[in-house]
Each structure stands twice: as C-alpha cells, then as structure tokens.
Amino acid sequence: MKKYFAILFFLSVNFLFAGNLDSLLKLATTKARDTAKVSLLNTIARETMTGGNATKAQDYAQQALGLADSLQFFKGQFQSYYLLAEILRELGNRTKSIELLIKALKLAESSGDKNFVAQGYLNLGFGYFYQVDYPMALKNYYTAMHIASKSNFERTRIKSYGNIAMIHTVTARYDSALFYYRKTLAFYEKNGPKNMLASQYANIGVLMWNTNKHNEALSYFNKSLQAQKELGNTLNQITILMNIGGVYADIKQFDKGIPFLLEALKIAEATKSKNKAMYAHQALALAYRDKNDFLNALKYLELYTELKDSIMHEGNNKNIEEMQTRFDTEKKEKEIQLLQKDKNIRELQMSEQQANINRQRIVIYSVAGGLALILTLIFFIWKSYREKKKINTGLELKNTEINLQKNLIEGKNLLITDSIDYARNIQNAILPSDETIHKNIQDSFILFMPKDIVSGDFYFMKPIGDSVFIASVDCTGHGVPGAFMSVMAFNMLENILADKKLLQPALILDELNKMVLETLHQETENSSAKYGMDISLIAIDKKQNKIEFAGAHNPLCIVRDSKLMEIKADKTTIGMAKEKFTNHVVEVQKNDMLYMFTDGYPDQKGGPQNKKFFVSEFKNLLASISKNNSLQQKEILYKTFTDWKSSSEQIDDVLVIGIRL
C-alpha cells in the first residue's frame, strides 16, 4: 500500500469573502462588475470545488478570470489562474494545470509583488508534485521559502515549510520532515486558520504512517477528517478517507479499511474528481490484493488503469478534436469552391451559345476533357481513400490490441513496483534509525538518495563499549541487484562485530572480504562474474578522542578550520582484495568534521556542459560548508546536487555521511 494518498498541500491563495455558498451566490447577483466581484466569484469557485462540484467551480473561475482580464485586475487574475489549475488537475488535465500555474507565476513576476511571486513558486511546486517530479517541486518550494524569508512574509514562509516537509516525507527523509513539521504545527496551533491546521494534522499522520506508528497516524487522520467535515471540504475528506483505509490495510485489518476506501471512491465519482477517483481505484486494488481477493483486485486495477490512461491522454484528445474541426472547415471551403467553379462554367456556356459551331466544339471538348480529368482524379482519390481506410482499420485493430497489452503490462508493472516498494521497506528497516544515529552521534547528518526505489548504497552504525562503528558502503550495481548485495553485506558486518568480535577496522574488512569471496564463490580465478563493494569504515573511541579507519577505494575526509585532509583508502574492492587492509589511527580535535561518501555524488552529470561534478569540486564544497550545522549542510548538499543535476537523470545511488566530533 502506498503511503501518501492524503498529502494535503499548503497553498498560497487568499480569498476576501467568507460565508456559506448560498449567501455568496445571492451576494454575487447584487455586486457590480468590479474588482470586488472578481474576488467574490473566485471565492464562490473555491467553495463550490471544496463542496465537491469541480465542473461548476470551473465555470465560476472562468467567469472571474474573464472579468479580471477586462479590468486588468492583477490579483484577481492570479487567483483565477491558480483556481483553474487546481480544478483542472482534479478533473484530470494535469498538463493544462501546469500551464496555468506557469502563467500565474509569470504574471506575478511582471507585477513585481514579491509575496505573489513567492506564492506563485509555491503553487507551481504543488503542480510538479502531482507530476511525480519531486526535485522540481522541492526546487520551487525552496525558492518560495527564500523569497518569503527575505521579505518577512511569515505565512508564505510557513506554507513553504509545510510543503518542503511533505516532499521529505514521500522521499523517506523523515528527520528533515519532522524538523519542518514542528515549525508549521506550532504556528498554526497558535495562529490558525482551522483549514491549515486540519491539513497539518493529515500530513503529520502521513509521516507517522511512513514510520509505522499506525495508532498515532489514525489519531491525526481522524482529527483532520473531523475538521474537514466541519469546514465542508469534500475533496480533502476523500484523501483523508483513503489514508485511513490505507493504514488499516497496512496492518491487515481489511474489513475496517476497505469501507473507508469505498466511501472515498463514492464521493470522488459523485464530485467528478478523476484524479482522486484514480487513486481510490489504485488503493482498492492494492488492498484487495493484500487480502488475497484477486478478483476484486483485478477489477479495481483495470478501472485504475483505464482512468489513468484517460487522464494521461486528455491533452491528446483535445488536439485530435481541434484537428478534426480544422479538417471539416477546410473540406466545406473546398466544396464551396467547387460549386462556385461549376456555376462559372454554366454561365460561360450560356454566354457563348451564339458563338460559331467550331468554338462550341472546342468548348465542349475542353469541358469534356476537364470532366474526364476530374473523374479520373476522383477515381484515384476514391481508390486512395479506400486503401487508407483499410489501412486505418488495420491500425485501429492493432492499436486496440496494443492497448490491451499495454493495460496488462501496466497492471503487472504496478504489482512489480509495489513489490519493490515492500523491498524498500525491508531495506529501510535494517538501516539504523534516526534515534539510534542521534543517540550515538548527536551532531551528524546522512544524505541518502537511492537512484531507484531500492539501493546498492547503505550506511551502517553499531555501538560497542566506548566505541561506535560507522560505515558508508557502495555495493556492486544499484536498484534490485545492488539491494540484494547491500542486505547481504549488512548482515555480514553485524555477524563480524557480534560473533567474530573483531574491533579493528582493517581486521573487519579482511574478514568481510573473506566472507564475500566464500559466499559468492569468487575464490578462483575462473569466476565468471565479480561482485563486491567499496567501503569506508571508522571506529570512534569517545574516551580517547581518536578514530581508526580502513577503506576499500572510498577515503575518509577530515575538515579542520575549513581545510580538508584526506586519509586514503586501499585501492582494492571487498570481494576481490588479495592483500590485507591498512589500519589508520587518526588523532582528532574537537569540532573536526568527518565525511564519508560513495561515488554517486561526484560522478553525477549536469551543469551547463553536462559533465561530472568531480571529486575535487565535491571536496571543495565539503570544506566550504563544514562550519554550518549538520541540518544546514545536508540541505546545501541536497540543493547543490539537484541544481547541478537539473533535468538530467540521476546515474547512481548517492550517500554522504557527515559527523562533527
């Protein structure tokens, strides 16, 4: 079960009027066509949408936009663009929704109003989230946050915090998510409004769910659901109901959870919200699958696939309709031209009736020849039309067959992807928790960004006596193959420290190398494939204020007073090493910053010339940020990486560990 059906975003559009919908509609009949009526129509559109009638809401928002355009009323135009974008997203047209959000942002920038510019970036980030483009969404949220902070727009800044926290939630950076959630919750509990507090409860519920605190998640979701009902916000009720149903399905209480999902689907269909109906079908397919009710699972999977395909092709259908309209218009014009030509010929024949017989023959022969030519052309056109129609019929049959195969493949992909999601949960479960990390090393951060759902990189921490063992590991490959290696390597490290009782990093790597060789049968030169891992391993002695280090390919970097020192690793790989590993004893000082990392960050391609970031630039970056606190360092590294990568594909798993002594 996916754990983010009920993300509720903090959006930045303010409305001037308050009251129930009936009183607002009555007020609209008496208002003059001025800027106040624009704001009133936008408020009516908002209330109509939250009440569950997105189609009618679209009509009110378009009326508001038309009036705002005629009055050149900037704030009304901005509100209308945003509302129409949100309404079209609910109706399934995501591409048009993004287009309107970009228009709103351009309008805000042309006005010079910094608060509206920040709001524009915030809302555009929301649009990218629904395109599952999390880096672009986060980039826009950070931009909104910086503009709002610099200009002291407190409410917009708090909304940015909330949306940044939600991206951290869906990308499994829970410590960062909790940091921002605490800021937003404290603000809205003190200042309101109630709808923002209700959204905050829902989003913290998502965080609790993702960290397997199911009772706490249900408590927050029920608080949010009660508030959404009091506010009359039907659309948000749908997502909360899906979320509650998802939690119950996650803990195998299907008889409790499925009714919530069915209620959510019923409301989504009644309100014509294609977007939410699509997710409700998906949630029901997963719940019935986990219940082993495969007949219902297949039913809802097919409905989900059909609706998803409809949403994804909304824009294409519109283009086809426009092409058909142009075609019909051109066809009518040609028919008129042919009729006019026939009329001219008849008039010419009548005017020349008195001409001599030879001229009549010439005219008749000419006309006959022309008609013969026209008939010949018509024959070939008709023949070509028949052939094209036959080909098109064949193509339609092929397309139907392809679509059937596509639906089957998408269904299988959904099940495979969900299985890999479970594998990610298993992999995340073996990693040390945030509590374990901060308990043993309070001032530290871990930037962990898998290329795929599961990762070949992993981090390891184990306290033994007065020492703490920490490792960053890069296994052969990424994705599913890398994940298999990472789970195996994690268990081997646990066994070496627990059973072998080896406490020197070099001896630990020697034993790890031996176990990989034996387990994967790589002892002989004839092995057809070689699997292994690169690793940095340190043992921190808290009492003696020293560390021991050993590494395979991956070094240890120490930054002191903004100057970086590198302790080099052995140039070999675990699973292929022939020699013993070197043990380094390093004296350290208070406030020294230690860094361990895999090759994913410096190897990432991007920038203006699409080149690698390179290790030298990466080390310079570490030295420049070393005096910042751990959370700030992590955020700078993340933002630098996403800005450098931009629209390029992430090429490898990324892992960076920072520790301040």
Give the list of residues 6+ apart from residue 323 with CB closer than 8 angstroms, or none: none
Residue 453 confidence (pLDDT): 78
pLDDT above 80: residue 150: yes
Q: What is the mean pLDDT of the chain?
A: 80
What are the pLDDT digits (tens) for 13-30? 444 444 566 777 777 666
Ramachandran quadrant class, 596 (left: phi over 0; alpha: psi -120 to 50; beta: rest): beta
pLDDT above 80: residue 69: yes
Nearest to 656 by CA among 130, 173, 107, 100: 173
Residues above pLDDT 70, as percent of the chain: 77
Q: 505 and 538 in contact (C-beta within 8 Å)?
A: yes
639-644-648-651 Cα dihedral, nearest 10 degrees = -80
Structure tokens at 473: 């590991």
Residue scoring higher pLDDT (481 or 528): 481
The DSSP 8-state label assigned to residue 565 in this structure reads: E
Burial class (CB within 10 angstroms; exposed 0-12, middle 13-18, buried 19+) of 293: middle
Q: 574 and 535 in contact (C-beta within 8 Å)?
A: yes
Helix pair 274-290, 357-430: axis angle to 10 deg:
50
Structure tokens at 111: 């006005």
Query: Poorest-confidence range of 250-264, 346-360, 610-624?
Result: 346-360
> Which of the four pLDDT bands, split at 50, 70 and 90, describes residue 457?
very high
Give the list of residues 6+ apart from residue 624 with CB closer than 8 angstroms, or none: 562
On the question of a cis peptide bond just before residue 481, with omega within 30 degrees of 0, the verdict is: no
> Which of the four pLDDT bands, split at 50, 70 and 90, describes residue 108?
confident
Question: What's the whole-number mean pLDDT along residues 638-656?
Answer: 91
Buried b (16+ CB within 10 A) or exposed e, 201-210: bbbbbbbbbb
The DSSP 8-state label assigned to residue 574 in this structure reads: B
Give me the residue label for tokens 């176990």.
Answer: 515
Question: What's the whole-number mean pLDDT along residues 220-241?
Answer: 87
pLDDT above 50: residue 10: no
pLDDT above 90: residue 616: yes
Residue scoring higher pLDDT (347 or 231): 231
CB atoms within 10 A of CB 660: 19
Phi, psi of 549 (to 5 degrees): -140, 140
Query: Poorest-confidence range of 79-93, 252-266, 380-394, 529-543?
Result: 380-394
What are the pLDDT digits (tens) for 388-420? 766 766 666 566 557 556 655 655 555 555 556
Cα end-to-end distance, the chain, whole Å: 40
192-197-198-204 Cα dihedral, nearest 10 degrees = 180
Q: 100 and 81 in contact (C-beta within 8 Å)?
A: yes
Helix pair 35-50, 74-91: axis angle to 10 deg:
20
Integer CA distances (angstroms), 403 to 275, 390, 407, 588, 608, in order: 21, 20, 6, 63, 39
> Which of the four pLDDT bands, split at 50, 70 and 90, describes residue 580?
very high
pLDDT above 90: residue 8: no
Question: What's the whole-number mean pLDDT along residues 165-177?
Answer: 83
Q: Pick from 46-60, 318-332, 533-547 the range whose average pLDDT is largest.
A: 533-547
Integer CA distances (angstroms), 344 to 287, 350, 358, in order: 73, 10, 21
Residue 86 confidence (pLDDT): 83
Q: 505 and 537 in contact (C-beta within 8 Å)?
A: yes
Residue 2 confidence (pLDDT): 44
Ramachandran quadrant class, 192 (left: phi over 0; alpha: psi -120 to 50; beta: rest): left
Give me the residue label for tokens 């727009």.
Answer: 153
> Structure pTM?
0.45
Residue 570 confidence (pLDDT): 96
Residue 363 confidence (pLDDT): 54
Query: Poorest-confidence range of 31-35, 455-459, 472-476, 623-627?
Result: 31-35
Residue scoring higher pLDDT (93 or 511): 511
DSSP string for residues in 452-506: SSS-SEEEEEEEETTEEEEEEEEESSSHHHHHHHHHHHHHHHHHIIIII---SHH
Q: 107 and 81 in contact (C-beta within 8 Å)?
A: yes
**Element counts in the chain: helices (H) and strands (E):** 23, 12
What are the pLDDT digits (tens) for 281-311? 988 988 898 888 888 888 888 888 888 777 7
Phi, psi of 115 (to 5 degrees): -65, -45
Nearest to 100 by CA among 129, 64, 127, 69: 127
What is the C-alpha to C-alpha distance for residues 48 and 55, in angstroms, rounded to an integer? 9
Buried b (16+ CB within 10 A) or exposed e, 412-429: eebeeebebeebbeebbe
Helix (H) or strand (E) run with residue 535 in it? strand 533-541
Integer CA distances (angstroms), 655 to 56, 450, 474, in order: 49, 8, 9
Question: What's the whole-number mean pLDDT along residues 140-146?
Answer: 89
List the strands of the sheet with 584-587, edge to edge: 457-464, 467-475, 533-541, 546-552, 584-587
Nearest to 285 by CA among 509, 50, 619, 2: 2
Question: What's the whole-number mean pLDDT along residues 83-112?
Answer: 84
Residue 28 confidence (pLDDT): 67
